[in-house]
Structure 1
Amino acid sequence: MRHCLFVLLCTCGLAACADNNTPAAEATEATTPEEETVSEAVTVHPVYHGSLVLTQGERTIYIDPYGGAERYASFPAPDLVLITHTHPDHLDPATLGAFDLSGATLLAPAAVIEADSIVQAFAERHTLANGETYNWRDVTIEAIPAYNPPPKENFHPEGKFNGYVVDFGDDNQRFYISGDTEGVPAMRELQDIDVAFVAMNLPYTMDVDQAAESVLAFAPREVYPYHYRNQDGSKSDVDAFRKQVTAGNPEIQVQLGNWYPDVE
């Protein structure tokens, strides 16, 4: 049986840095990221936009690190890095290049591995196609299809990019990171997800209604809306998302992390 999730929110300062509309190079102030304890063994650290860190004991996993290395100053160097796709708010060579990657493993779709020479800085690099899995220590990572169906298929073509399920084995905690996708069947058919991170920014991913419908379909124990700043600079209505999910299934806990602490 899956362990119960206990969430303790400890709000800390975050660095002023870039979003989709501000270059990462403008970041100058370093502070400590927001931190949330999710279980006895795994801690979730929301960082910025579509970026987060998972820590388990001495192990540190970066997911789509973006927005300047200052945001990661309080974390150890990564042991594992997951990158979902090639867009610059997910594959950020300037941020990656500031980390010590000499002991890190990279998991990414082929498009990422082929896109930038920064991948050569990793100790190991492994390509994951949709549906493939990789066992890293006792953690199993599965690549979940992440794409836009027509008419928006040019944003994220089917079969090219990944979301991920990160399964922590003995602790039996399963985390789903959507990456940039709409509510495709591979998402809606997920099972036994403890914590999900679901993107909802327009025009590139889902609107609030589609995101809520998709989450209700696979019913994670907890869900964080993330990656919710739109192309025009507005933010998707995460409160409306929470209300829809809660009305549809009150057992799903909706967590509203502050993914844009330095943006009004």
Structure 2
Amino acid sequence: MSTQSSIQMRTAATLIGEIGRLAPPQGCAGIWFFGQESVAIKGRRTVIHVDPFYSDFLEQQGVHRTYPAPLRPEDVTIADLCLITHEHEDHLDPWTLKAIASQCPEARFMAPAICRTLLEEEAGIAPERIIDALTGEWMELEGTGAERIRIKPVPAAHEELQTTGSEREHRYVGYLIEMNGVKIYHAGDTTIYPGLSELLAEERIDVGMLPINGRDFYRGSRGLIGNMNYREAAELAAMARMETVIPLHYDIFAGNSEKPGYFLQEVYERTPAQKCHVMARGECFVYVSPRAFGRD
């Protein structure tokens, strides 16, 4: 085994161990960042993965990462729920999901209805473990240790709003997640559309995670579907009154990237009181809400 592989193995073990050990008190949540839009979130005991993308599936197609995935599919042995925002391979990675489904037999998977066939046929997930991400209403689920969690899929426009059936069956979604007294918004891949900032402002979001890589003619000509850019993301965080904002989707593919420093500068100049955090690869960020420890 090469030195680089050994280091990677140790790093993965450390990350998974950390996810298992962390026990945030009420009003707090642990967030781990693994590149692109792959994050793990932990409440009191429940672990949620969003868009876990750890296989070398795209590498085999000649699409190379700028750095190795901090985890491999077989490393993910702790998962209660996986949230998938849409069917693109860097968000719905069937090889990673197949491993999670096998290694975490109690885990459930939520995704837009259009993804169900991929989840069943490519990832081998049993139909009864899949929940359709129908937008516009909160769903209550039971996590580990009877922990109550709430999930609300939110329409995403990547680059436009699309439905695949009923008006609640959006092709692209983000997620509002409420657990352990913390409300988190993971935007998925989206541009800003009329009504989005107002919808989010009503939710009193503690942590908003937003893509910042943007879109342009040249990326569009290569078939890359775009997102909000860093200026739009900074404005959305302010308009939606997010307590803390974290940028996503800027680092894995050289041809579809952005500098997170631009986002930080934009936030600082536009709304200097806005809390903002750029996460390191594999970092655990423990968010402490204003309501934790009786501070509110």
TM-score category (smaller protein):
0.7 to 0.9
Q: 1:70 to 1:119 in 2, by over 3 A?
A: farther
Q: Please give the per-residue CA displacement for 1:14-58, whole angstroms capped at 9, x wherever unaligned.
A: xx89xxxxxxxxxx9322449798963421111121100011233
Distance 1:259 1:187 in 2: 29
Distance 2:42 2:173 in 1: 21
- Residue 87 of structure 2 is matched in structure 1 by 86
- Higher-Rg structure is 2
- Residue 163 of structure 1 is matched in structure 2 by 174
Distance 1:38 1:214 in 2: 31
Q: 1:220 to 1:59 in 2, by over 3 A?
A: same
Q: What is the number of residues matched between the two proteins?
A: 230
Q: 1:133 to 1:243 in 2, by over 3 A?
A: same
RMSD over aligned CA atoms reads: 3.2
Distance 1:233 1:215 in 2: 25
* Structure 2 unaligned regions, length at least 5: 56-68, 143-147, 164-169, 216-225, 284-296
- Residue 71 of structure 1 is matched in structure 2 by 71
Distance 2:42 2:24 in 1: 11
Aligned residue type for 1:196? G
CA contact (8 A) 2:36 2:252 kept: no
**1:1-264 counterparts in 2 under 5 A?**
29-30=8-9, 31=11, 32-33=14-15, 40=25, 41-68=28-55, 71=71, 76-99=77-100, 100-117=103-120, 118=123, 120-121=125-126, 124-137=129-142, 138-148=148-158, 152-153=159-160, 157=162, 159-168=170-179, 171-189=180-198, 190-191=200-201, 192-203=204-215, 204-229=226-251, 232-233=254-255, 235-259=257-281
Q: CA deviation at 1:80?
A: 0.8
Q: CA deviation at 1:147?
A: 1.0
CA contact (8 A) 2:23 2:43 kept: no
Aligned residue type for 1:157? Q
Q: From the two aligned structures, give the one with the greater helix fraction.
A: 2
Distance 1:213 1:235 in 2: 19
Q: 1:260 to 1:59 in 2, by over 3 A?
A: closer
CA contact (8 A) 1:82 1:106 kept: yes
Q: From the two aligned structures, give the one with the greater strand fraction.
A: 1
Please, what TM-score do these two structures have when normalized by structure 1?
Answer: 0.75
Identity of aligned residues (%): 26
Aligned residue type for 1:198? L
Quick one: higher RCO (CA 8 Å, sep 6+), 1 or 2? 2
Q: Please give the per-residue CA displacement for 1:145-191, whole angstroms capped at 9, x wherever unaligned.
A: 1113xxx44xx7363111000012xx421000000001224531213
Distance 1:209 1:247 in 2: 11
Distance 2:23 2:37 in 1: 18
- Residue 5 of structure 1 is matched in structure 2 by none
CA contact (8 A) 2:206 2:244 kept: yes
* Structure 1 unaligned regions, length at least 5: 1-15, 18-27
- Partner of 1:114, secondary structure, is helix
Q: 1:140 to 1:96 in 2, by over 3 A?
A: same
Q: CA deviation at 1:252?
A: 1.8
Query: Which stretch has the larger CA shift, 90-99 or 230-239?
Result: 230-239
Q: CA deviation at 1:120?
A: 2.3
CA contact (8 A) 2:267 2:274 kept: yes
CA contact (8 A) 1:130 1:161 kept: no
Distance 1:165 1:103 in 2: 22
Distance 1:238 1:63 in 2: 20
Query: Which stretch has the larger CA shift, 242-251 or 76-85?
Result: 242-251
Q: 1:143 to 1:60 in 2, by over 3 A?
A: same
